Every structure is written in C-alpha cells, then in structure tokens.
Chain A
Amino acid sequence: RKEVEQDPGPFNVPEGATVAFNCTYSNSASQSFFWYRQDCRKEPKLLMSVYSSGNEDGRFTAQLNRASQYISLLIRDSKLSDSATYLCVASKAAGNKLTFGGGTRVLVKP
C-alpha cells in the first residue's frame, strides 16, 4: 500500500462548478501536509499548506481529518486555468522528507 494515495481521476468539471477530492495517508506519524499543483510538463508548485483547523486561500479550501487520516481539497467556481494535476503531500516531523501521492487530474471544461 502506498503511503499517500489519491484517486488519479480525471475529474471532469464544468467551468464555474465546485470540485472536491481527497487523499489518504497511511502513516499516523505524519505531521505536515501540503497540496501541490503540477501543470503538464512543468514542475510541481506549492498550492497551499494544510493546517489542522482547515484553511482557505481564495477559491481553494483544504481540510485535514486526522482521525480518518485524509486531507481534502475543494475548488469553488472552477476556472479553465485550474486544469492540472493536484499532488497531495504528507511528511513526518523529522528529517524534512515529503511523501507525494500519485496526483489527481482535474480537467475544467467550458
């Protein structure tokens, strides 16, 4: 079983709609969580950190559920430019090593 698992998608989303997807992590010692975005043939870029209380950044909302060991990402009012692969990341406190999920592909269509 992978340490960080994601539904690969694709999630086909009409422009303006809301889309949400989850990521599960197997290591209960994980302490830090992030969402990265990767466009086709580009490098992963940090989208947002995920805090225990949940956090919002514009149209993006991230939630952490430690009891069930998953994090979620919700995108409101989807834009065509939101089309990308979203990578879930978990890490333990020590060592600075991040573990990436396989990514969830999102396609926003007009």
Chain B
Amino acid sequence: DAGVIQSPRHEVTEMGQEVTLRCKPISGHNSLFWYRQTMMRGLELLIYFNNNVPIDDSGMPEDRFSAKMPNASFSTLKIQPSEPRDSAVYFCASSILQGGGNQPQHFGDGTRLSIL
C-alpha cells in the first residue's frame, strides 16, 4: 500500500521566491498534518485538517505561510515570499480520525527545503 507521498523531496530556491510543497495522504485517512523540523526547534505542528477542513493553524509562523486541502487526496503548503529561516524539513502526515482516542500518524518522506 502506498504511504504518504510528498513532493518535491528536495527544493533549493532563492529568498523571495514562492515555494509550494505537496502531499497526498494515505487513502482512507481523513486527517492531514503539516510539520516542520529543524535542529533548533524540533518537530513543530504547523496546521492540520480533519475531513479537508483546517482545524488548527496556530503553528503557522506567519502570513507568508498558507495551506490548503481542496480534496481528500491532496494538500499544499505554500510559502510566499520565502526566507532563509524557512529552511527546514517539512513533513506531511495522515491518520484516521475516530472517536475515543487519537490514532497514530503516518509520515511522508519529507521535503528538504533550502532557501538561499
């Protein structure tokens, strides 16, 4: 079975450019999460969706960051304009939303983003 699929795997771009990261969750999963990981700050939750609806975007660092989930099988995280401090590994994860307790999340391979 296919896991969470992220693209691109690596992105190097100059500051000021728009960056779009993509994620395809596991089929049948109805929760999707975007994380950022750096050495200094560890794994940080940026935003998550339940049934394609954004539930908590309090982790989105600035207005330069935006995320969408137009359908159950696709989500994007956009940074515009990008800055060097946005350099990090960005992970997408998905899980099944059900009552009575939270389910473990399954992560994609991540996108390594470098802003020069």
Contacts and interface: CB of A to CB of B under 8 A. Distances in A.
Contacts of B55: 95-97
Interface size class of B (residues with CB under 8 A): 20 to 34
Interface stretch (A13-21, A44-52, A64-72, A76-84): A44-52
B24 to A, nearest CB: 15
Interface string A31-57: 110100000001111100100000000
B48 A46 contact: no
Interface residues of A, number: 22
A6 B104 CA distance: 19
A98 B102 CA distance: 8
Nearest to A100: B43
Interface of B: 31, 33, 42-43, 45, 48, 50, 55-56, 91, 95, 97, 100-110
Given A44-B43, A95-B50, 7 more contacts: A92-B102, A95-B56, A96-B31, A96-B50, A96-B102, A97-B33, A98-B33
11 contacts: A31-B102, A42-B109, A46-B106, A49-B104, A91-B102, A93-B100, A96-B50, A96-B55, A96-B102, A97-B56, A99-B45
